[in-house]
Structure 1
Amino acid sequence: MQFLSDLNGIVWLLAIGMSPVCQAQQTWRALDPENTLVIDTAKGRVIIEMRPDMAPRSVERVKILAREKVYNGLQFHRVIGDFVAQTGNPDNKDNGKSAYPNLAPEMKFKHQRKAIEVWASNASDAASGFFGSVPFQSIPISANQQDWLGWGVHCAGVMGMGRDKPLDSGNSELYFMLGTSRDMDHDYTVVGRVVVGMDVLRTLKQGEPPPSPDIMQSVRLLSDLPGFERPKVSILTGTALRAFIQKVRHEKAADFSVCDVVVPFKME
């Protein structure tokens, strides 16, 4: 039965134009240091993979503010259990802004199949998969298409850009999903996903605002950390990730969703 599952997977890889031999050589992929955010708190470290292929302007804004140390010392000013943790506003409350102009919305994007780590599903109404560790959904995939319209999926661990009511009011605020909330998928820009440190986020003091908020002591890009301090983090990819997804799919059966998959990681 496992052999049949693997054979079907190889047929699927061929159908979308990916070499099974190439995929078999990919088990772990190191995170891109230029697009990996490292947040240190008193409760531990959080490491996020950011995806400029999903939200290029938003990722660039986060990188600029991190390098200018704007995020250092800011509070998690709104934390709701099993829902969301918000931070990143210079005034430590909702509606705060950086000195930069607001961002255009990046809720939806076009993507090419060659950039996708692994597909999770392809049904008649929608497809889903992963850009690295970050889940997305898109219109159904056909073999002769080169790109598709997709959007980020608000699974637990996803990081996005906060905003006010206008869609183009994102600026500096970040939010981290502590649970799954798919009703946000088309309304907010997904920037990345937590790879390491969900346990840290789930221990943040709760409240709107919390009585004694936790803070981001430092927010840096992995590439900016000194070599001796830089963690080596890799995520599962290729056929190994596909097998992991199949295992979760088997366990969940008809209830399976892309949010049931948290891409495994390893640290050296």
Structure 2
Amino acid sequence: MKGILGRKVEMTQVFTANGKLIPVTVIEVQQNTILQVKTLESNGYNATQLGVFDKRENLVNKPDLGQFKKANSVPKRFVKEIRNMGGYEVGSQITASDVFQTGQYVDVTGISKGKGFAGAIKRHNYSRGPMAHGSGYHRGIGSMGAIINRIFKSKKMAGHMGDAKRTIQNLEVISINNNIVMVKGSIPGPNKAYVIIKENVKGLKSAEAAKLLVRNTKPAAEAKVEEVVEVEVAPVVADAVQETVITETPTEEAGE
């Protein structure tokens, strides 16, 4: 399993050599630092801990600061472990081009947008009742189950919608250019949200994914990934990347 950490910038679009429009999400992937390598003998499982985006020392507690110094690294804002990722040394740097290549399929994990408190119809796609003719039931939650003076666990009810960990699978890597990675389609979270890009767990290859995921009229044997025209990142994308530089303020500590 391979992976890297990044930050969502925005969505835009690119064109293939035959003029086909492809919606893509722009992800800023700076150099990731290997902070810790965990092994089965020492920790009970195999994993590699990555960190990205620098952070001021006065915003880090002493235990975490000691871990960063052990890896000869400045404090990092976004730190995550990727299971079963090996072959790296503590303190080394990796980039997106070291892990992935154009045409590869990946899984992207992030925190979805929070939508606040929502009813059962919006949150779980329930059907509503009649809206007229004297009906006493419109947008209610419906039956609570058997009459045993309690509600069963896992009953879908109104509550906090969104703001949950979500993974979008089998997204094609359209291009890798310096610190910019473009993947086909949308990914979870708002702009400037941190994401984890990992090798697709289902193991689909380019030709297989093209047959399963891309709508086309080519025979299965001839299905292949579309060639993408080399395009420069639009000015609006470059500006968005510059805007993602975080102004360090003490008030950000509470949100981490």
TM-score by length of 1: 0.21
In terms of fraction of residues, the more helix-rich structure is 1
Q: Which has the larger radius of gyration?
A: 2
* TM superposition score normalised by structure 2: 0.21
